[in-house]
């Protein structure tokens, strides 16, 4: 069943979920992540640590709300002991009243079930039958062992969790058909209740969901009428505090019990420490240990689905301890001897294909790791080692280029090559108009090395006008022609403002030669036009002179030809005497 939803639009390639996931049950593909349900242990760390809030719990409680409205059977709210840390000791009875306003007939504390579990742990320890015994209150821990350390399942305490033990007792108290809803800060409890063969718990609502539910119903805990609980407080309410289980088990053993001579009592919090413990145990290095193990750092008071997102395991644990100290006189343990606490935990190993050494080395070689010395194991990709990442690539859970050092190296190489070979002058200045970077071409222009340029004001080298406008108004300056007379250059210049870094980066393309050639061509055109005009003027003068000479010659020719014509016609006789 899918419990964790990923909003792909919000997923920003940060790999934070991979880094915090103790079992790497996440597939990264096409710039988004997907939680692999069959591999997940439902610790909720990916939800809680996602900086973009891209992950959320999918847990539809509409059926529970509908069953409350339907009535017809006992409706019981069972509160995990950590409710004090989430809602406050002063609000204890008000929370009970608020739950009754939601429609519950009874409100019970699961610390009652925790005490029964404590006594069963003590009994098994005194029997001396187990080498090591790991507590099974944390269902994420149980899933971790079943899936990833299956050979260690015999080391898990064969005892119901407090939730299941309490649920079994509540069914005897309120009826087999009772609606029993468990409230907790855990995600894994939802799956535990769903897959439990006994189905003692009808459904699970997280504390965060309860807080949202009360808000939807316009019920304020602080102003709710006080309610009451179906049983007295239990000293085992110490369970959700780090070292609380070992403390409670010790208190329920006789002072002279041989258990103290044989077993070492250990308390571990947080997935990292728990995994390391399991690795040592699997290697045969741990024996005769009673181990309280919780996946959440700070134990249950710091569960992933508590109402607030603050990380305060120490202060909340102290608050719970102070509350329990005040309630010591009221504590009275209920008799759960009628409940069968035995539990069979079977291994359910995750099947994953592991590539051979040649394939691993081939994958690593594709990102420049051709030798083991190249494996930095920095963890930036989310995996502990480069080899683990390569295996994940083979299993199609990770992308090949999810390697920050490699991509950084590629990026720097490309940037350096671009800066080095670019013929343009590239200069970056900050908001104080100090040069922060320049390329090789700019160094040649200024006839200075980089270390003599960086840190100085841009106006020591160029007119700062465009830079000042870009920085001051936080905008780009479009491409335009600039003449730097002192440098003897003309450039096509554009300035790009980088908001995130507060830098103005100028790109200057030298067009001095083109401008000089254009000026020379212009001068040549003017000279040619002047020469052409002179030729035209001379041609006009000649034409006019020729025309004048032709006019005189034509007149003389006309007179001569006229006389010749008359001579022929009149044969020398007088024209006027015919």
- Please say whether the beta carbons of 249 and 124 come within 8 A: no
> Which has the higher per-residue pLDDT, 569 or 449?
449
Question: 375 versus 120: which is more confidently predicted?
Answer: 120
Coil, strand or helix at 6: strand
Q: Please state, for a pLDDT cut of 70, what percent of the chain lies above it.
A: 96
537-551: average pLDDT: 78
pLDDT confidence of residue 574: 57
More confident residue, 193 or 423: 193
The one-character DSSP state at 11 is: -
Which residues fall within 8 angstroms of residue 501, CB to CB, at 6 or more apart? none
User: How many CA atoms lie less than 13 Å away from 315 in the CB half-sphere?
Assistant: 5
User: Please, are residues 39 and 186 in contact by the beta-carbon 8 Å criterion?
Assistant: no
Classify 433 as helix, strand or coil. Answer: coil
d(CA 230, CA 169): 12
pLDDT value of position 125: 97
**Contact by Cβ (8 Å): 406, 427:** no
Mean of all residue pLDDT scores within the chain: 90
- Cα–Cα distance measured from residue 390 to residue 149, given in angstroms and rounded to the nearest whole number: 22
Given a cut of 90, is residue 144 above it in pLDDT?
Answer: yes
Assigned token pair, 370:
């051709």
* Helix 271-282 × helix 139-148 angle, to 10°: 40
Q: Is the Cα dihedral 305, 306, 309, 310 positive or negative?
A: negative
Q: Provide the token pair at 359.
A: 């394939």
| Distance, CA of 147 to CA of 60 (rounded, Å) | 26
**Has residue 33 got a pLDDT over 70?**
yes
Size of the chain, expressed as the number of residues it contains: 578
Which among 94-108, 225-239, 412-426, 543-557 has the top mean pLDDT? 94-108
In 9-87, which ranges are E strands?
A: 26-29, 32-35, 55-57, 75-79
What is the SS3 assignment for 357?
helix
pLDDT at 557 over 50: yes
Outline where DSSP puts E strands in 370-445: 425-429, 435-438
Share of the chain above pLDDT 90, in %: 64
From 23-27, 248-252, 392-396, 526-530, the region with the lowest mean pLDDT: 526-530
Backbone phi, then psi, for 197, in 5-degree steps? -60, -35
Which ranges of 128-187 does DSSP label H, i.e. alpha helix?
A: 139-148, 162-174
CA 297 to chain centre: 20
Q: Are strands 179-184 and 75-79 parallel, antiparallel or unpaired?
A: parallel
pTM of the model: 0.74
Higher pLDDT, 484 or 500: 484
d(CA 385, CA 476): 43
The predicted pLDDT at position 410 comes to 65
The sign of the torsion formed by the CA atoms of 241, 247, 252, 258 equals positive
Task: Report pLDDT digits (tens) over 309-328.
Answer: 777 888 888 888 888 888 77
Residues 125/248, Cβ–Cβ less than 8 Å: no
577 pLDDT band, cuts 50/70/90, is: very low
Q: Which residues pair with 509 in a beta bridge?
A: 492
Work out the average pLDDT over 406-417. Answer: 64
* Predicted pLDDT of residue 521: 82
CA separation for the pair 282, 182 (Å, rounded): 34
Kindly report, residue by residue over 129-140, the tens digit of the pLDDT.
999 999 999 999
Mean pLDDT (whole number) for 95-118? 96
Q: What angle do CA 164, 166, 168 make, to 5 degrees?
A: 70
**Rounded Cα distance, 52 and 8, in Å:** 10
User: H or E segment at 113?
Assistant: helix 111-127
Strand order from edge to edge, sheet including 477-484:
435-438, 425-429, 503-510, 489-498, 477-484
């Amino acid at each position: 069943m899918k419990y964790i939803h990923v909003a792909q639009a919000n997923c920003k390639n940060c790999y934070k979920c991979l880094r915090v996931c103790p079992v790497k049950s996440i597939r990264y593909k096409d710039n988004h992540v997907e939680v692999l349900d069959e591999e997940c242990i439902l610790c909720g760390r990916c939800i809680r640590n996602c900086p973009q809030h891209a992950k959320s719990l999918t847990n539809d409680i509409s059926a529970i709300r509908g069953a409350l409205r339907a009535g017809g059977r006992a409706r019981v709210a069972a509160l995990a002991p950590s409710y004090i840390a989430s809602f406050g000791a002063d609000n204890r009875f008000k929370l009970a009243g608020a739950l009754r306003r939601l429609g519950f007939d009874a409100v019970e504390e699961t610390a009652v079930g925790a005490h029964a579990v404590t006594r069963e742990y003590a009994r098994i320890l005194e029997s001396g039958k187990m080498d090591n015994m790991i507590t099974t209150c944390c269902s994420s821990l149980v899933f971790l062992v079943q899936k990833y350390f299956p050979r260690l399942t015999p080391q898990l305490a064969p005892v119901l969790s407090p939730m299941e033990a309490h649920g079994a007792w509540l069914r005897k108290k309120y009826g087999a058909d009772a609606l029993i809803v468990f409230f907790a800060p855990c995600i894994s409890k939802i799956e535990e209740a769903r897959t439990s063969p006994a189905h003692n718990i009808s459904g699970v609502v997280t504390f965060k969901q309860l807080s949202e539910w009360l808000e939807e119903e316009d019920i304020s805990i602080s102003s709710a009428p006080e309610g009451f609980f179906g049983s007295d407080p239990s000293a085992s309410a110490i369970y959700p505090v780090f070292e609380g289980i070992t403390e409670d088990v010790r208190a329920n053993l006789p002072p002279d019990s041989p258990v103290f001579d044989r077993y070492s009592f250990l308390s571990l919090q947080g997935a990292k420490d728990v995994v390391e413990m399991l690795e040592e145990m699997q290697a045969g290095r741990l024996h005769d240990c009673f181990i309280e193990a919780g996946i959440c750092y700070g134990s249950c008071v710091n569960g992933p689905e508590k109402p607030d997102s603050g990380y305060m395991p120490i202060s909340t644990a102290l608050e719970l301890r102070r509350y329990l100290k005040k309630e010591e006189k009221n504590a009275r343990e209920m008799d759960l001897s009628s409940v069968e606490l035995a539990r069979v935990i079977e291994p359910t190993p995750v099947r994953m294909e592991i590539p051979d050494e040649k394939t691993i080395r081939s994958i690593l070689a594709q990102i420049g790791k051709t030798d083991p010395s190249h494996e930095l194991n920095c963890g930036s990709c989310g995996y502990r080692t480069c080899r683990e990442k390569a295996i994940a690539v083979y299993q199609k859970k990770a992308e090949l280029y999810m390697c920050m050092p490699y991509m950084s190296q590629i990026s720097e190489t490309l940037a350096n090559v671009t800066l080095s070979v670019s013929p343009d002058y590239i200069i970056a200045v900050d908001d104080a108009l100090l040069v922060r970077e320049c390329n090789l071409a700019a160094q040649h222009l200024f006839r200075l090395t980089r270390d003599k340029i960086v840190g100085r004001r841009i106006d020591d080298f160029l007119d700062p006008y465009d830079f000042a406008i870009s920085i001051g108004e936080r905008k780009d300056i479009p491409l335009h022609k600039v003449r730097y007379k002192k440098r003897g250059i003309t450039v096509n210049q554009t300035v790009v403002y980088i908001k995130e870094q507060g830098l103005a980066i100028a790109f200057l393309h030298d067009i001095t030669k083109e401008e000089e050639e254009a000026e020379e061509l212009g001068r040549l055109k003017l000279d040619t036009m002047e020469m052409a005009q002179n030729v035209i003027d001379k041609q006009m003068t000649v034409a006019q002179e020729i025309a004048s000479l032709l006019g005189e010659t034509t007149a003389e020719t006309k007179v001569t030809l006229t006389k010749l014509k008359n001579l022929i016609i009149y044969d020398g006789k007088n024209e006027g005497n015919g």
